[in-house]
Amino acid sequence: MLLAALKSYWGYESFRPLQEEAMTCAMQGRDSVVVLPTGGGKSLCYQAPAVCQGRLAIVVSPLIALMKDQVDSLRSCGIPAAFINSSLTASQKVEVANDIRANKLRLVYFSPERLVQPKTIEFLHGIDLSFIAIDEAHCISEWGHDFRPEFRQLRILRDEFPKVSLHAFTATATEQVRLDIINQLNLRDPTVLVGSFDRPNLVYRAERRDDPIRQICEIIDRYPRESGIIYCTTRKDTEEISAQLNARAYRTRPYHAGMSDQARHESQDEFIEDKIDIIVATVAFGMGIDKSNVRYVIHLGMPKALENYQQEAGRAGRDGLQSECCLLYSIAEFMRWKKMIETSGASNTVTAMTSLQAMNEFAAGVVCRHKRLVEYFGQAFEKSNCQACDVCLGEMDEVENPLIVGQKILSSIVRQGQGRFGGEYTALVLKGSKDERVIRNQHDQLSTYGLLNDQPLQTIREWIDQLATQGFLQRVGEYNQIELTPQGWQLIRGEATPRLLRATEAKQRKKKRAEKTAASWDGVDRELFEDLRVLRHELAVEADIPAYVVFTDETLREVARVRPSTLDGMRRIRGVGDKKLADYGQLFLDVVIEHGERTGVVLDNWSNAGRATADQVTDDFAW
């Protein structure tokens, strides 16, 4: 029944990992906690059972935008769904209530605040509910990275609806957070399902922030006219970066909490509807945004926790296609977050500091970035090479004689006077800089002065960061001064050897990145894809829905690979369900057939089907 629903409504032939187990819990009325990465198909875990049971399911969702996206998507698949929130008029709310009483709806979305209102509870007592799903459930935990006090009120659901099963869904939850969710919701012997935290379709890169606009533009230019998110740490940065990019003819808008509600909604709507390509935002943007075709996420600054980074970066590539996540970091941000945590007086200081340190090690570390993420969340990472991060893709070269290089750096720190100067200053000394501070301190007289004058200053800075993340030195004091650790003295004595990496030559690195990006388009008729995308945009504007609700990029790329010539062929494409076939199938077929007649390319090229899924996405991620 569940698999038939997946095929009929969503056009998918099989389950993703743990989806069937999660759906079975909802079908059998067993409480559950489900942790699946962003893009892993969490929503289907409660949507498909709601369709199959024929009774109303309640979904708790934190944001109006998320509710609308979900309902638009469900209706486009032929599933009756609605939401109740402040965006509705009084008459619209009455209409939804009447539809609920008449059992016309399969899913209704509520905010946590609205769901626990006495009038709402009283109304739902008279409804035959199938189950209640809590999305973004990490918000209920004080140990979570995005704790929201209003979610705590949901604990009354067990008492109010003792016979209705409760199901918590989230993309990010450590074991501590999972246990807190169970306790707060008073779940009864719940099934706990934790999927792999690895997102093999995401390519992770981290670079020290040097020339932000140049670095950002290099990333954007790999994805012309495709959707991207740029996260900034301050409101001022969002405004300035957006303005500078617009001046360079990119289509962007800013988004931050200091803007008016109307301005924020306009920015968000234009991004979701593909009227702009890029949104430049603070972390106020993004939770629950169900935009599947985000091809890159850039962080212009280091988040305060690896959980935050995992969720924010995870907004790329929700459709399973290759996408890029690039972190442009500086050590100053790490120290600023560290000071804020130390002076906050919060009860979870130790947990926060652990996650911040993990974030720093991810940014400046020298091991596979997929491995670093997955193992942080307590899972094993067995691959020796992920083929999806700058370290594993050969964009970073091993330094010859890392012991000698490390000894040169640490020796300079000792000779400068430990704990007196920071990494930036030390790099200047090693580079042989004529900086006024270096001359004034007479450090141009040190034996270590200019020892690395054949290396770019940026590379020396990165090596210092790498030595810190490997525990050979530490930052102390108000100004991030550096000093050796006991392990650093072992390095000085030649008893320990660091691993040091350097970026490959710029042209070679650019070539490798371009090749990796191009590989995700393997077999796709790019001209046809663009024609299909134009049609999709026109249909979306006409229906006032996001373009990806019509069809995802994954579906359009598959159409452009295979070039089906019949409705039966169109139905075989992933993501084409019965209703979408009826609504849009012939329109897209007409474009394919016209393209074939005009260019002479072969249609119904089924030998080409699924090439990107096979080549670019692991079996665990593919449909």
Q: List the one residue out of 595, 584, 585 whose CA is nearest residue 539.
A: 584
Same domain assignment for residues 11 and 135: yes
pLDDT at position 27 = 96
Distance of alpha carbon 421 from alpha carbon 564, whole angstroms: 65
Q: Which residues contact 136 (CB under 8 A, 6 or more apart)?
A: 61, 62, 146, 169, 170, 287, 288
CATH number of domain containing 215? 3.40.50.300
Which CATH number fits the domain that encloses residue 557? Answer: 1.10.150.80
In one-letter notation, the amino acid at residue 273 is E
Residues 357 and 384 in one domain: yes
Q: How many domains does the chain have?
A: 4
CATH number at residue 423: 1.10.10.10
Determine how β-strand 165-170 pairs with β-strand 32-35: parallel
Torsion on CA atoms 281, 285, 288, 293, rounded to nearest 10? -20
Asked if 2 and 20 count as a contact pair (C-beta separation under 8 A), the reply is: yes
Give the orientation angle of helix 64-76 with respect to helix 261-272, to 10 degrees: 30
**Residue 589 belongs to some domain of the structure:** yes
Positive or negative torsion for Cα 261, 266, 272, 278: negative
Are 209 and 134 contained in the same domain? no
> Among residues 503, 536, 551, which one ends one of the domains?
503
Secondary structure of 276-314 in HEC code, one letter for each residue: CCEEEECCCCCCCCCCCCEEEEEEECCCCCHHHHHHHHC
Whole-prediction pTM = 0.83
Tell me what pLDDT residue 620 has.
Answer: 31
The distance of Cα 44 from the centroid of its chain, to the nearest Å, equals: 18
- 23 plus 164 within the same structural domain: yes
Instruction: Provide CB contacts within 8 A for 451, sequence distance 6+.
Output: 408, 412, 430
What residues have CB less than 8 Å from 336, skipping those under 6 apart?
none
Residue at which a domain ends, from 176, 194, 212: 194
Weakly modelled stretches of the chain, pLDDT under 50: 612-623
Q: What DSSP string describes 515-570?
A: HHHHHTTTT--HHHHHHHHHHHHHHHHHHTS-HHHH--HHHHHHHHHH---SHHHH
Query: Contact at 8 Å (CB) between 236 and 300?
Result: no
Residue-level pLDDT at 287:
56
User: Is the backbone of residue 175 left (phi > 0), alpha (psi -120 to 50) or beta?
Assistant: alpha
Contact 342, 349 (CB under 8 A): yes
Q: Are residues 97 and 168 in the same domain?
A: yes
Alpha carbon separation from 383 to 172, 222, 374 (Å, rounded): 22, 27, 11
Q: Which of 234, 211, 208, 268 is CA-nearest to residue 64? A: 268
**173 and 238 part of one domain:** no
Q: Which domain holds residue 537?
A: 526-616
Pair (244, 317) in one structural domain:
yes
Distance CA 598, CA 614 (A): 30
Q: Is 237 helix (H, G, I), strand (E, B) or coil?
A: helix
Provide the 3-class DSSP secondary structure of residue 7.
Answer: helix
Category of 380 on φ-ψ map: left (φ > 0), alpha (ψ -120 to 50) or beta: beta
Helix (H, G, I), strand (E, B) or coil at 320: coil
Note whether 534 and 463 are same-domain residues: no
Residue 521: inside a domain? no
Contact 301, 320 (CB under 8 A): no
Tell me which residue has tokens 């998507």.
73
Residues in CB range of 576: below 8 A, 6 or more apart: 11, 551, 555, 570, 585
**Is residue 561 within 8 Å of residue 609, measured between CB atoms?**
yes
- Dist CA 114 CA 405 (whole Å): 60
Does the residue 520 lie in any domain? no
Coil, helix or strand for 121? helix
Residue 585 contacts residue 571 (beta carbons within 8 Å): yes
**Residue that terminates a domain, selected from 194, 217, 250:** 194
Residue 517 lies in a domain: no
For residue 154, tell me if it sits in a domain. Answer: yes
Q: What is the pLDDT of residue 289?
A: 66
* Residue 93 and residue 37 in one domain: yes
Cβ–Cβ < 8 Å for 281, 307? no
Looking at the structure, tell me whether residues 493 and 563 fall in a common domain. Answer: no
Instruction: Please check whether residue 621 lies inside any domain of the structure.
Output: no
User: Tell me, what's the pLDDT at 64?
Assistant: 76
Q: Which residue has the tokens 């189950």?
A: 131
- Please report, as a single letter, which amino acid is at residue 596: G
Q: State how far the Cα of 101 lies from the Cα of 135, in Å rounded to an integer.
A: 24
- pLDDT for position 47: 96
Residues 160 and 28 in one domain: yes
pLDDT of residue 616: 36
DSSP state of 505: P
CA-based R_g, the chain, Å: 26
533 in a domain, yes or no?
A: yes
Q: Is 185:32 a contact under the CB 8 Å cutoff? A: no
Q: Give me the pLDDT at residue 63, please.
A: 77
For 449-481, write each residue's pLDDT tens digit. 999 999 999 999 999 999 999 999 998 887 788
Residue 407 counted as domain residue: yes
What pLDDT digit, counting tens, does each position of 261-318 carry?
A: 899 889 988 998 889 999 999 987 765 567 889 999 999 999 998 888 988 898 999 8
> 389 and 402 share a domain?
no
Structure tokens at 369: 């970035």
Closest residue by Cα to residue 216 from 258, 245, 179: 245
The predicted pLDDT at position 146 comes to: 64
Determine how β-strand 473-476 pairs with β-strand 294-300. unpaired
CA 95 vs. chain centroid, Å, equals: 36
DSSP 442: T
Q: pLDDT for 146-197, tens place per residue?
A: 667 778 889 999 999 999 999 999 887 778 889 999 999 999 999 999 988 8
